[in-house]
């Protein structure tokens, strides 16, 4: 979907920068990038620096940055929805209604990006954008330090120490699904989508996994 959007808008001084946050190394992310056959920029962030700099806690999230380098929409969910929470885990399928609703939300998000590029719609004024920027607490700052240390220890074969650091990162910053999922996949590929993931999702209760962006087509 991103390639189609880029093809439509690339003559309008528009660029998509897709970043894979993959601490297991570039080789784990490269097949997905090659499969996409994207013409826009695709980067690999093995240290999750992007998440730390912009306050991202999940994927997919996006930040809109204008031609002057100003953030006009801080990190928000890039068209994904919570319909997956009603998935039949035995068949890994959604009902047709949920599939349609998810597709409509994705289309609404892409349309909002297009409107912004063509008309400036949905861009926030500086004060409003600043108010919506995620705030970095001391606990979150420490969480990122523990996470980077845990990744470094894993790379150097010190798995037990690494896992303690990664667990502390998630304790300090429980809203970061990025940290939790990456830690799970560092232990064993596929863990990030296993039973513990679904337990964490159910524990959210009424809280969203993907908070909807304040854009047309997304219920509040």
- So what's the pLDDT on residue 220? 60
> Cα(179)–Cα(164) distance, rounded to whole angstroms?
13
The pLDDT score that the predictor gives to residue 189 is 60
Confidence bin at 219 (pLDDT 50/70/90): low
Mean pLDDT of 85-108: 95
Residue 115, domain member (yes or no): no
Residue whose token pair is 């890994």 = 92
Q: Is residue 155 a part of any domain in this protein?
A: yes
Tokens of 24: 């297991």
Sign of the alpha-carbon torsion through 110, 112, 113, 117: positive
81 within some domain: no
Q: What angle do CA 198, 77, 149 make, to 5 degrees?
A: 65
Structural domains counted in the chain: 1
Structural domain includes residue 43: no
Q: Which residue range is the domain that position 159 belongs to? A: 138-203
| Residue 98 resides in a domain | no
Q: Is residue 179 part of a domain?
A: yes
* Residues 106-121, mean pLDDT to the nearest whole number: 97
In a domain, 197, yes or no: yes
């Amino acid at each position: 979907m991103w390639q189609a959007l880029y093809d439509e808008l690339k003559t309008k001084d528009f660029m998509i920068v897709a970043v894979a946050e993959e601490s297991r190394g570039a080789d784990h992310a490269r097949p997905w990038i090659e499969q996409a056959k994207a013409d826009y920029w695709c980067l690999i962030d093995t240290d999750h620096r992007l998440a730390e700099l912009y306050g991202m806690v999940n994927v997919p999230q996006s930040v809109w940055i204008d031609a002057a380098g100003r953030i006009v929409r801080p990190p928000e969910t890039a068209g994904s929805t919570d319909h997956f929470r009603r998935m039949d885990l035995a068949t890994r399928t959604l009902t047709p209604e949920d599939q349609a609703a998810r597709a409509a939300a994705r289309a609404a998000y892409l349309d909002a990006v297009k409107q912004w590029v063509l008309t400036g719609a949905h861009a926030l004024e500086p004060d409003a954008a600043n108010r919506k920027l995620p705030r970095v607490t001391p606990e979150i700052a420490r969480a990122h330090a523990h996470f980077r240390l845990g990744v470094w220890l894993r790379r150097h074969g010190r798995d037990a120490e690494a896992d303690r650091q990664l667990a502390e990162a998630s304790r300090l910053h429980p809203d970061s699904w990025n940290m939790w999922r990456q830690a799970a996949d560092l232990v064993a590929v596929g863990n990030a989508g296993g039973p513990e993931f679904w337990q964490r999702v159910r524990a959210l209760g009424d809280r969203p996994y993907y908070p909807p962006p304040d854009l047309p087509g997304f219920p509040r």
